[in-house]
Homo-oligomer: A and B are copies of this chain.
Amino acid sequence: MLLLHLSDVDENSWATKLRDALGGYRVVQRGDDFDPREVRYIFVWKPKADAFDGLTGLRAILSLGAGVDALLKHKALPDAPIVRFVDADLSQRMSDYVVAHVTMHHRLYTRFRADQTARRWTQLYPPAASETTVGIMGMGVLGQDAAKRLLPLGFTLRSWSRTPKTIDGVTGFAGQENFDDFLAGTDILVNLLPLTPETTGILNLETFRKLRRKLDGGPAIVNAARGGHQKEADIVAALTDGTLGAASLDVFETEPLPQDSPLWAIENCYITPHIAAISSETTGVRYFSQMIRDHEAGKPLINVVDRQRGY
CB neighbours (8 Å) of A278 from chain B are 125
A273 to B111: give the CA distance in the assembly, Å.
11
A272 at the interface (CB under 8 A from B): yes
A190-234 at interface with B (beta carbon < 8 Å): none
Residue with the highest number of chain B CB atoms closer than 10 Å, among A89, A255, A270, A272: A272
CB neighbours (8 Å) of A277 from chain B are 125
Question: Chain B's nearest CB lies how many Å from the CB of A7?
Answer: 15
Q: Indicate if the CB atoms of A128 and B273 lie closer than 8 Å.
A: no
A160 to B270: give the CA distance in the assembly, Å.
34
Nearest opposing residue in chain B for A153, CB measure: B149
Stretch in contact with the other chain, from A19-27, A94-102, A299-307: A94-102
Q: Scan A130-156; emit 1 where CB is below 8 A from any B CB, else 0.
A: 100000000000000000110011100
A126 to B272: give the CA distance in the assembly, Å.
11
Partner of A100, one of B103, B113, B148, B270: B103
A255 to B277: give the CA distance in the assembly, Å.
40
Q: Given known contacts A96-B103, A103-B100, A152-B148, is B126 in contact with A275 (CB within 8 Å)?
A: yes
CB neighbours (8 Å) of A77 from chain B are none
A122 at the interface (CB under 8 A from B): yes
CB neighbours (8 Å) of A154 from chain B are 92, 95-96, 149
Copies, count? 2
Question: Chain B's nearest CB lies how many Å from the CB of A87?
Answer: 11
Question: Chain B's nearest CB lies how many Å from the CB of A116?
Answer: 5
Of the four ranges (under 10, 10 to 19, 20 to 34, 35 or more), the interface on chain A belongs to 35 or more
Q: Given known contacts A97-B107, A100-B107, A104-B104, is B92 in contact with A129 (CB within 8 Å)?
A: yes
CB neighbours (8 Å) of A273 from chain B are 112, 115, 121-123
A46 at the interface (CB under 8 A from B): no
Extra contacts besides A95-B154, A124-B275, A125-B275 (4): CB < 8 Å: A96-B128, A99-B153, A112-B272, A125-B277
Between-chain CB contacts (< 8 Å), 12 pairs? A89-B128, A92-B154, A93-B126, A93-B128, A96-B107, A96-B128, A100-B103, A103-B104, A107-B272, A112-B272, A112-B275, A115-B271
Give the interface of A toward B (CB within 8 A). 89, 92-93, 95-97, 99-101, 103-104, 106-107, 109, 112-113, 115-116, 119, 121-126, 128-130, 148-149, 152-154, 255-257, 259, 264, 270-275, 277-278
